[in-house]
Structure 1
């Protein structure tokens, strides 16, 4: 099954990492959701990408400087469109309540250090391990995940596939390698697959890059416009 993962939800059409964006992504044909995990001052795991709140909320500074109660008061939708004024940040627990019971893939990117244990505890609590892949640009995050859980699927977000990256993933029993679409080559994808790795691309920010990733033979990608990817997959099959 090709992974059509709504990137922070259908983030071309709704404010990223909000319930509105996640529901929109599934409506548009995504069979999975990609999101980012950070942690609040009082230890609540929340869905947020940036280092600071300023771009996508009316708050300022780092999420880790605020309690979850304070973060819940922020407007996470008006920056995108007045139609989404009042959209709120989402906790990981809330996210799993709404989407963990659905038959959708969950791609969870760890954005903070030392976040692995509370994330894994919630994954176990909601029994979503079979549909979950934990990813990170930080190799140390992935090492920490593997030290706690020997079986959950993990993937490494990297710029480009090479033998060294593959070797590092095999050391921690990763099943997925996640290269950037820009610069991706068919031979790189075949190399990763020859080592038994699933290839999920990121950074397909335009329809042209989306089609390039498909031509390279990837197994899936994160995408801001899952409707266009769904249409392209239907056209090719």
Structure 2
């Protein structure tokens, strides 16, 4: 399926890093918990190991969310696979492992779930990460109707993904409206702009929709903020609070 603003199959509600803060982020345990709360679309962060394996990790470094140390991208996958990625969250998740993109793709595809892959490159390999993640996503979703949405704050990563697999849908992530943001999204062939939710108002929503793209927001954990975004007719809400917001709402 070719994803466009007019041909948009993704649900409004997206579970951040699996199940937000209720389980260790970016692990299969978190995805399973988000699914138990009724979510059908998930967001995750993907970078490359030193030997080129796409794996899930938000931070550049390993310390916050695993038993490892240093830059995640400096380690080969064999070493990363041995780390405990659950104990930092709670004892009940002790021994949970870091997930690969292959793991998450299998979970999503076998359950007909949707995925937003944030390309989160280790500094210095932005374009390479975009290219590699796009190639892996194309391979993993080959033959399936609805591909993942690729997104990034890094223009280099999005350009790499665009060059590598132009048919995959892309979204530009923004934490501020820097000069030329809309033009950059258009030049990269993005189908969506994904903003810090505070950046959306009638004007910015109107600009993006007039440019033929969809409007998504992160990370929305407050009911009033969610209602404001729904009132603005935005298209996607990424949340940690899978226990508070019904994805059917």
Q: TM-score, normalised by structure 2?
A: 0.86
CA drift of 1:162 comes to 7.7
Question: Which among 47, 63, 68 is matched to residue 54 of structure 1?
Answer: 63
Aligned to 2:139: 125
CA drift of 1:131 comes to 2.9
SS at match of 2:196: coil
Aligned to 1:93: 102
Aligned to 2:167: 151
Whether the aligned pair in 1 keeps the contact of 2:174 and 2:196 (CA below 8 Å) is yes
Distance across 2 between alignment mates of 1:42 and 1:23: 28
Specify whether residues 98 and 153 from structure 1 end up closer, same or farther in structure 2 by C-alpha distance, changes over 3 A only: same
CA drift of 1:119 comes to 1.7
Q: Which runs of structure 2 are paired with 1:6-155 in the superposition (5 Å)?
A: 6-112=15-121, 113=126, 114-126=128-140, 127=142, 130-155=146-171
CA drift of 1:179 comes to 0.9
5+ residue gaps, structure 1: none
Distance across 2 between alignment mates of 1:54 and 1:208: 34
CA drift of 1:202 comes to 0.9
Specify whether residues 208 and 76 from structure 1 end up closer, same or farther in structure 2 by C-alpha distance, changes over 3 A only: farther
Give the RMSD, CA atoms, in angstroms: 2.0
> Could you say which structure has the higher helix fraction?
1
Specify whether residues 162 and 64 from structure 1 end up closer, same or farther in structure 2 by C-alpha distance, changes over 3 A only: closer
Distance across 2 between alignment mates of 1:66 and 1:169: 32
SS at match of 2:112: coil
Specify whether residues 226 and 119 from structure 1 end up closer, same or farther in structure 2 by C-alpha distance, changes over 3 A only: same
- Residues 172-216 of structure 1 show CA distances to partners (whole Å, capped at 9, x for unaligned) of 211100111124323311221122110010122433433333233
Aligned to 1:189: 205
